[in-house]
Amino acid sequence: MELEKASARLAPRSPWQAVDMGTQMFRRWAWPTVRIWLAFTLLPFALLLGLASYQESWWPLVLFWWLKPAWERPLLAWYSHALFAEELSLSQLFKRWKQYALPGLIAQLTWRRLSPSRSFNTAIWQLEGAQGDQVGQRHQVLHRAPSTRAGMLTLVMFHLEQFMGYGLLALVYTLVPWQFNLEMSDWFFEQSVLQTAIASSCLYLVLCITEPLYVACGFALYLNKRTWLEGWDLQLGLTRIGKRRKPAGVALVLLLGLLALPAVEPAQAGNSNHEDLHVEQQQVIELLASDDYMPFETRTSREWKDRDQDAQDSSWWQKLWEWFFDDLEDQMDSAPNKPFQIPDNLIWAVFWALFAGIVLWLLLKVSSQLGFSGTRRKAGHAIPTHVAGLDIRHHSLPDDIANAVDSALQQQDIRTAMSLLLRVSLATLLREYPVPLAAGSTEQHCLRTLQREHGNAAGIEVLKPIVNAWVRTAWAHRPVGEDEVRGLLNQWQALRFVEVAHG
């Protein structure tokens, strides 16, 4: 790296000041980095989204998320060149892909995938080209106190992605026309193909902003750590001093040549040379005494009251509190500019607690999907009185459903006919096959719950086309024909159920 070409001032900063420098880098090069992200990820995301929609599964999209370290490599390569006055084109990034993308990629996609310091550690492989034991040595050196706060950066960016993603998703759902009469529970918990595509697209649009920002902040933390350890600011300062002294050295050679000639005013020349040397020395002293090289620091220390008292008199709560905050003073001495002064013990405890909770939740979800969640109670579930705004109570339904449907069809009222057919179908099936349903469940949710609990029973197989026809008629405003309604009615009348009293 040619440090003299850096477009940012490389000086020792606190971790959050370095993150702020990363945000400035993203603001300056926002469009080039977003374009790089789209060029490398748009096609893979579209293919995986299509596969997820075809299989009605989230696993292809989880794969895209898992490959994020690979998608971040081109961004880091571009930042590392742009900072030193070389902006790579897309063709150059594609040609050099093997050079910057492959080193250390297997580790980052396997046992180091969930490392909270991923944005910081990527530079060790990609920019330094470290391999083997050298990687572990560089990790120990660069992660030495004071902390880089790369893990906290990952946590902040994770929450930022979630807030922006859910906010954009809520905005999209808010703009849906009111005629569709959509419920928020349906949009956020009923995962149809369309809803999966909308939610995934919203998250991808958010990643177009957060991923370049995340890589820029991690790269800034890496530069800041190397500036602290290797004194890049001193190196640049001495280089600038040397460039300023070079003209003075030439002038000194000319002055010595003039002194070899018969001196006209030797006393005056000697005084001028002495004054120039004094001015240069004063400039060096002022430069080394500036805030860049000798910053003024204010430190605040805390210590426990009655620290010398017998440890046996301490309660378990006090011992736990001391264990969390015991190293606070040492951390403040090593990194006095850390915001909030949060101990690393507390941060890691919260992180691992959240991580364990997420892993447990995923295991429960996967086991439920694979059918290992144990047997469910088949009886004792309360039958809902309304589904998707439709009254399915027994006394609200006509005694002769066939005549009621036929009367509605004669009046060309397809919606009323389908409504009657759907209501009697749901009322009969929910009495025959009780399932747990929350208040405000939709017809699609009822159908999926019945299929999950009772499989492909005859009545459930007939309910599926009835629900599809009702959705087309009521929500899509594309009414089905009279013949299709009569056919569905005949299929329903061909079924036989055991009547269960239902008020």
pLDDT in tens, 168-218: 988 887 887 655 545 555 555 556 677 788 889 999 999 999 999 999 999
Question: Any idea where the domains of the chain sit in the sequence?
Answer: 3-233, 317-370, 386-493
Share above pLDDT 70 across residues of the chain, in percent, rounded to a whole number:
66
Long-range CB contact pairs, 271-278, < 8 A, 24+: 276/248, 276/251
Q: Kindly report the three-state secondary structure assignment for every residue of 171-192.
A: HHHHCCCHHHCCCHHHHHHCCC
Low-confidence ranges of the chain (pLDDT < 70): 1-7, 177-192, 232-345, 368-383, 388, 438-440, 496-503
Report which residue type is found at 119.
Answer: S
In order, the DSSP letters of 32-101 are HHHHHHHHHHHHHHHHHHHHHHHHT-SHHHHHHHHTHHHHHHHHHHHHHHHTTT----HHHHHHTHHHHH
Long-range CB contact pairs, 371-378, < 8 A, 24+: 376/436, 376/453, 378/434, 378/453
CA-to-CA distance for 117 and 152, rounded, in angstroms?
Answer: 8
State the CB neighbour count (10 A cutoff) for residue 407. Answer: 15
Q: At what angle do helices 232-260 and 266-288 cross, to 10 degrees?
A: 180
* pLDDT for residue 27: 92
pTM passes above 0.75 = no
Write the DSSP symbol of residue 481.
P
CA-to-CA distance for 23 and 43, rounded, in angstroms?
Answer: 27
In order, the DSSP letters of 257-322 are HHHHSPPSSHHHHHHHHHHHHHHHHHHHHHHHTSTTTS----------TTTTS-GGGS-HHHHHHH
Radius of gyration of the chain measured on its C-alpha atoms: 35
Write the DSSP symbol of residue 14.
-
Average pLDDT over all residues of the chain: 76
Alpha helix (H) residue ranges in 294-441:
316-325, 328-334, 344-370, 401-410, 414-432
Task: Summarize pLDDT for 406-420 with one digit per residue, the tens.
Answer: 888 888 888 888 888
CA-to-CA distance for 476 and 473, rounded, in angstroms?
Answer: 6
